Amino acid sequence: MSSARPLSLITGASAGIGAAFARALAARGHDLVLTARRTERLEALAADMRQQHGSTVTVLTADLADPAATATLCDELARRGLAVDWLINNAGYGVPGTFVANAWQTHADSLQVLLTAPTELAWRLLPDMRQRGYGRIINVASLAGHVPGTAGHTLYAATKSYLIKFSQSLALENRDRDVHVCALCPGFTRSEFHDVTGTRALMDKLPGFMWQSAEDVVREGIDAVERGEAVLVTGRVNRFIKGLFKLMPDRLALRLSARQARRYRQQE
């Protein structure tokens, strides 16, 4: 490990799963680099982590939809002499509505944040992890990456499926260097995610047992990457859903997925 206190870089750290990762890793003795678009929220979280856990916290505001943001972020880390031990690729959001109902720039921004930025961050930070002989990368994917795609969810599930396969390959490539890579696949998680996409009213129709807290998701994710698991679906209900769809014929799985999605997805 590069220092007595590991350094964790967390994207999308201003709320939800990202903020929960910051709290959990600070409690484990990590120093933090927090990045997201909302500086005020990042600074408030940083102040809490300094006070509660004595963490050294660096706030680097960035919009990962900007194609130059990832390189700029890594250049700033290098300028400050910060070597990242844990990379938490968490930043992301959903684009509600059908594919053609949204402008191309909306989709391009989404792909940049959900697919290109985490891939590039891993590419830029992984060589130093390998050289030091220690690293942890958690790519926050989704249960959506394991089940059939649905109308009104066109790019989100596709990018999460990519993150799962990407994580599996990275895990195999780096296991001999004590660099663990895990795709963390939560289902419905209590956070601001559905407020941002405007689907909160639809999501509130889901039964309570379908939901997990961000803290539970993060705890499972940290344990999984430490064990060297390449993919983890969080929660018993989500693992049951994944297993059920895996056993179904593709045609039946797609039909069932489409029927359920009409109840909970904004499709126009």
Query: Structure tokens of 170?
Result: 């990275």
* 156 annotated active-site: yes
Q: What are phi and psi of 209, to 5 degrees?
A: -70, -15
Q: What are the C-alpha distances in Å from 181 to residues 34, 59, 71, 232, 258?
A: 20, 24, 21, 11, 32
Selection from 230, 221, 96, 261 nearest residue 163 by Cα: 230
Q: Cα separation of 21 and 19, whole Å?
A: 5
The residue among 41, 28, 17 whose CA lies nearest residue 212 is 17
Dihedral angle computed from the Cα positions of residues 218, 183, 119 and 16, in that order, rounded to the nearest 10 degrees: -30
Instruction: Order the strands of the 135-140 sheet from edge to edge.
Output: 57-59, 31-35, 7-11, 86-89, 135-140, 179-185, 231-233
- Classify 61 as helix, strand or coil: coil
**Of 93, 134, 156, 162, catalytic:** 156
Q: Which residues are catalytic?
A: 156
